[in-house]
């Protein structure tokens, strides 16, 4: 087994390698850079024709982690996966607390993502209104700095 920071002995040979948890990894070239990705996530991305969101989980229906046939894979959220897979397990209080913290974090992340989208739309509408008003005004100075600030704010939010 490879130590932390080292590549496994079979890295780069044939079609990937298996980590200590049993998941197959492959190397892909993305934006000119080579990176490693779990094979089942890559297969699901290719099937859907898009990148997976961080909160999306690819589940192996038969529980065999290196069986990455498309008919053995399903897409779910962490919450759905936990209900389907871990229902009825006895967990320590500490584990339950950690799981709750992670669930709360995921919900907060989802909520903030929605708020950012709404704010971005509001900024774009405000910018359009200012541009329309400016086109009817002779004096451009009062709106010029606000327009620049709004454009900068929109570009920052779009990067998030």
5, part of any domain = no
Domain count, the chain: 2
Query: Which uninterrupted H or E stretch holds 152?
Result: helix 141-159
Residue 71: domain span: 13-89
98 and 160 inside one domain:
yes
pLDDT at 48 over 90: yes
84 and 97 inside one domain:
no
Listed residues 30, 65, 89: the one ending a domain: 89
Least Cα distance to 41 among 31, 28, 33 occurs for 28
pTM: 0.53
Residue 40 pLDDT = 92
Listed residues 71, 89, 107: the one ending a domain: 89
Those residues with Cβ within 8 angstroms of residue 134's Cβ, 6 or more apart along the chain or in another chain: 140, 143, 144, 147
26 and 80 inside one domain:
yes
115, part of any domain = yes
Query: Which uninterrupted H or E stretch holds 77?
Result: strand 73-77
Contact criterion met (CB below 8 Å) for 23 and 66: yes
Percent of the chain at pLDDT > 70 equals 82
Strand ranges (E), the chain: 17-18, 24-30, 33-38, 56-60, 73-77
Those residues with Cβ within 8 angstroms of residue 106's Cβ, 6 or more apart along the chain or in another chain: 55, 78, 79
84 and 101 inside one domain:
no
pLDDT at 154 over 70: yes
């Amino acid at each position: 087994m490879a130590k932390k920071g080292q590549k496994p002995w079979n890295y780069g040979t044939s079609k990937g390698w298996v980590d200590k948890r049993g998941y197959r990894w492959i190397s892909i070239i993305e934006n000119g850079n080579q990176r490693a990705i779990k094979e089942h996530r890559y297969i699901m991305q290719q099937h859907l024709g898009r990148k997976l969101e961080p909160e999306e989980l690819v589940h192996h229906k038969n529980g065999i982690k290196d069986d990455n046939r498309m008919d053995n894979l399903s897409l779910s959220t962490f919450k759905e996966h936990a209900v389907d897979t871990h229902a009825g397990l006895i967990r320590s209080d500490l584990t339950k607390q950690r799981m709750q913290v992670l669930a709360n974090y995921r919900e907060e992340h989802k909520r903030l993502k929605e708020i950012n989208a709404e704010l971005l739309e509001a900024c774009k509408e405000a910018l359009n209104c200012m541009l329309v008003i400016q086109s009817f005004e002779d004096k451009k100075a009062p709106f010029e700095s606000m327009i620049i600030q709004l454009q900068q704010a929109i570009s920052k939010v779009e990067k998030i």
